[in-house]
Structure 1
Amino acid sequence: MGLPSRSIHLAACALAAGALLTGLVPAAGAAAAPPGATARAAAGPALPNARADDPPPTDDMPDDGFDDEHEGEQDDLVGPGGTPERRAPGTQAAPVPGRPGDFRLAAGSDLSGLVGRLDAALPKQGLTELMEQANRPSGWEGACGNTSIYGPDLAVNHRVCWDGDDLASGEWVPQAITGVSDAQEDEDWGSSNSEPIAVASYDAKNPGRSDQASGRDNCVQASVSDACNEKGVRVSFFNQATQKYRHVLLAWPYVNSKNNISFDALHASEGKCTGTVTPSCKAQNGIHAGGMVWYGNYLYVADTANGMRVFDLRKIMDLNPDNDADRNDPTPDGLESDVKDKKRIGRQNNVWYSFGYRYVMPQVATLKLTTAKNGGTTAGNQCYATGRPKASFLSLDRTGADHLILGEYCNKNNGGTSNGRVGTYPMSAITAAVEGKAGTAAAADSSFGLPTGGTFNGETLWHKTQGALRYDGKWYKRELYSYNMSEVTGDFGS
């Protein structure tokens, strides 16, 4: 199949990820260096004989610098105390004129020193080799059930579904999808013929986790589930050649109180309180990862309240190089790694943990929306016509000059004054911000208000767009509860 059709097909999948993957089911600087980390990083890697009491990340991990604002963007018909706004079927709301300045992104604190220390401490694995290590068999074609779940108008090229435990998982919810068609114009990655597809899922279930003094380190107690910890986001890389996949846990690096490099799941402080809940011990929420774009070596993951977190596929850490989970592996820093303990993460007592995942990919950069919020909190999925947008979904336009598209999911039943907006950025500006100094800005070159239409159970969904893409000058959108995309025939507000 030709490149344009494959690229648009993948972009279409990205928009419908929440629905289609039901069948596939199974920052000032984000993750910024903690105070003093720059000076401490200059001191070099920790010595192998460092004190054997490295604390867990929940003990001393500083906040990562992002707003801790839960914007889960779950499927919701009516907001608390709200009344659905009614419109005649097909009636479109007037688009709000876009303001490109509202979409300005800036690079956060330099993480290169922290990532460099982590790189020196742990073994690495390239994506090509990781694809060769893909170990989870997928379902294929007819094994994935009835095609009618995709709707009558969407032609299915291939059908893929996760392995048994992933398929039935109540912990991990698939949200975003991208792949080598976005990453490379020629759709080849190294010497591999795997043509990888990447799917991001967020941790939606933390049984036993608590902000209260219900037990210190409550998530590592024998009585709690392995799912207790907030693990943030994982990315599943699918090898199309072998029809197998492998999970990679996303992480952010920090220096612990013993001056040792460590990592934790994204925005996942567990909040061990010894009394009244305070901001310093309150358990943080994980991010939603509602959108993801793979471009070149970088993976861009949406963080709803803040902007984007950036990961480098050249920095995938391998905590089990011998592929024998029953035996701890030595690490370059003179310690060892344990991938059987699913309740711990980071460096603890001179052992590296990763919630049981073999592969961990640390955050390497932050792109944070700089515009001030307007109209108050957006925690109820509401949006505002001006001010800081929400980073709800991402897509890539490879027609003409490559552009990244960032847009909002909005629920006006929960308040707010906007149907949602989209902004477009030249990928050259995005890459320059990632690779530049802290504060390097990426400006949007256009933005638009979203017109919509459609109903579900009598509710007009014109304010619930879950994805948008642009291809060869035409815009397409995906609405909540709709498995299909629709072409936008009217003009966006400009």
Structure 2
Amino acid sequence: MASAAAAVVVGSIGAGAAQAASPISTAGFDLSRTSTSSAVLSALDTALPNLSIDTVAADANRVGPTGSACGSVLPHVIKKYCWADDDNDTEQWYPQGVSTTYDAYGGAGTTAGGRSLIATSWYDHDGGTDKGARVSILDRANAKYRHVLLAVPGGTSTSPTFSIASTHAGGLAWYGRYLYVADTTGIRVFDMGRMWSVNTSITDAIGKTSAGYGAYGYKYVAPQVHRYARTGTFRYSSVSIDRTTTPDTLIATEYRAPGDTAQVSPRTVRYNLDETSKLIAETTSTVAGADGAWDIGVDSLQGGVFVNGSLFLSQSDGGSVAGTDNDRGDLYRYTPSSGSLVSWGNHLPVGTEDFSYWSGRGELWTTAEYPTLRGLYALDYGYYSG
């Protein structure tokens, strides 16, 4: 296990990294937005019960262990949740992104109903029927959670339906009612303020069927309402929210496999958010431009979040043999104003993924993806902030 003295000042990071982290031009990072048909959304609102996040969270049907009863022993972890055994062990679904109601609402980080929630995205990993992606809504107060399937509305206003959201869902950023989901070639946006209840007896189909609306046995679906498509080559591997800027900003990071010199050095991009619409601020109609960009040089980058001017990054070392720490993830802090880059080896779980920050609680959240080794971990921001 890494010790508190394991912080290392580095000039570049990641296997195959070619240069130190540095600012770069924001050109080439524009996003072009398209929106789901309002007529189709309205028709589905009419056809199906339209529920709030509090209603769905109150209907949690699963619970996992917490604290010392679950997950790996890691330095500077101050809170920990794990999944029920079947979710911890399954090969069908792999968790990826993490975001919270602090990201969504700021302040105390609670919903209108007073709940403090953590959202985690999963993608369908096995070779069977593709069910796309789902998000788990976990209540901090009792560790209870429920899975919600992500859905893409379609059809017409007179015959509306929806299909799976086929995406890796590598990162989450919850802002207001919207859940931003990293989608490699862009970002999908789902509406957490209009989740629909469907027929759970329909287990072999999604959308409109002769028996009503279903979603492979899931009780709730969250619809895609917008999609941002890239206009350049940036790979949107993870996303996060920074509420320490004015205005609030969306952060996107890029994955590159170790030693893959055919790909450009991994980058991180920042976009301003519109605090009224809760969408990315647009420079022209439906086009959003970047407010900042950096060449980070981090291979195997899984997540990144800016907090108070420093960028915290998670780097995975892949799988592991149970009971060892040789493949635990590494944490990095890059501060653009000074150019400093600091690393902590083996301070993150095996299979570490996305990053999210919860102010007031001083927590840096991450999740772990591999079967039997999964968990949600809050690290002590104060320790890593320097």
TM-score band, normalised by shorter chain: 0.7 to 0.9
* Per-residue deviation, residues 232-258 of structure 1 (Å, max 9, x unmatched): 1100000111220011000001117x9
Q: Alpha-carbon deviation of 1:189?
A: 3.3
- 1:122 aligns to 2:48 (yes or no): yes
Amino acid at match of 2:82: C
Tell me if structure 1 keeps the 8 A contact 2:121–2:134.
yes
Q: How many residues are aligned here?
A: 316
Which of 163, 178, 195 is residue 298 of structure 1 equivalent to?
178
* Structural mapping, 1:210-229, within 5 Å: 229=129
Q: Alpha-carbon deviation of 1:480?
A: 2.2
Alignment-derived partner of residue 134 in structure 1: 60
| Whole-angstrom distance in 2 between the partners of 1:396 and 1:139 | 27
Tell me if structure 1 keeps the 8 A contact 2:15–2:258.
no
* Structural mapping, 1:4-403, within 5 Å: 93-95=19-21, 98-145=24-71, 147-148=72-73, 150=74, 154-207=75-128, 229-255=129-155, 260-266=159-165, 286-304=166-184, 306-319=185-198, 338-349=199-210, 351-371=212-232, 388-401=233-246, 402-403=248-249
Which of 258, 262, 267 is residue 421 of structure 1 equivalent to?
267
Q: 1:194 to 1:259 in 2, by over 3 A?
A: closer
Tell me if structure 2 keeps the 8 A contact 1:107–1:436.
no
Give the strand-richer structure, 1 or 2. Answer: 2
Tell me if structure 1 keeps the 8 A contact 2:17–2:265.
no
* Per-residue deviation, residues 349-405 of structure 1 (Å, max 9, x unmatched): 25211100000111011111123xxxxxxxxxxxxxxxx200001111111211111
Q: Identity, % of aligned pairs?
A: 31
Alignment-derived partner of residue 446 in structure 1: 292
| Whole-angstrom distance in 1 between the partners of 2:244 and 2:151 | 32
Q: 1:100 to 1:492 in 2, by over 3 A?
A: farther
| Whole-angstrom distance in 2 between the partners of 1:110 and 1:438 | 19
What SS does the aligned partner of 1:113 have? helix
| Whole-angstrom distance in 2 between the partners of 1:131 and 1:421 | 35
What SS does the aligned partner of 1:182 have? helix
Alignment-derived partner of residue 339 in structure 2: 491
Tell me if structure 2 keeps the 8 A contact 1:111–1:365.
no
Alignment-derived partner of residue 371 in structure 2: none
Which of 301, 304, 309 is residue 465 of structure 1 equivalent to?
301
| Whole-angstrom distance in 2 between the partners of 1:102 and 1:478 | 25
| Whole-angstrom distance in 2 between the partners of 1:476 and 1:294 | 18
| Whole-angstrom distance in 1 between the partners of 2:139 and 2:130 | 27
| Whole-angstrom distance in 2 between the partners of 1:88 and 1:364 | 36
What SS does the aligned partner of 2:224 have? strand
Q: Alpha-carbon deviation of 1:297?
A: 1.0
Q: Alpha-carbon deviation of 1:95?
A: 4.7
Structure 1 unaligned segments of length 5 or more: list them: 1-86, 208-228, 267-285, 320-337, 372-387, 453-462
* Per-residue deviation, residues 243-298 of structure 1 (Å, max 9, x unmatched): 20011000001117x951101111xxxxxxxxxxxxxxxxxxx3111111001111
The structure that has the greater radius of gyration is 1
Give the helix-richer structure, 1 or 2. Answer: 1
Q: 1:260 to 1:479 in 2, by over 3 A?
A: same
Tell me if structure 2 keeps the 8 A contact 1:137–1:245.
yes
Q: 1:435 to 1:248 in 2, by over 3 A?
A: farther
Q: 1:254 to 1:437 in 2, by over 3 A?
A: farther
What SS does the aligned partner of 1:341 have? coil
Tell me if structure 2 keeps the 8 A contact 1:424–1:444.
yes
Q: 1:109 to 1:469 in 2, by over 3 A?
A: closer
| Whole-angstrom distance in 1 between the partners of 2:125 and 2:252 | 23
**TM-score normalised by L of structure 1:** 0.59
Q: Alpha-carbon deviation of 1:468?
A: 2.0
Cα RMSD after superposing both structures: 2.9
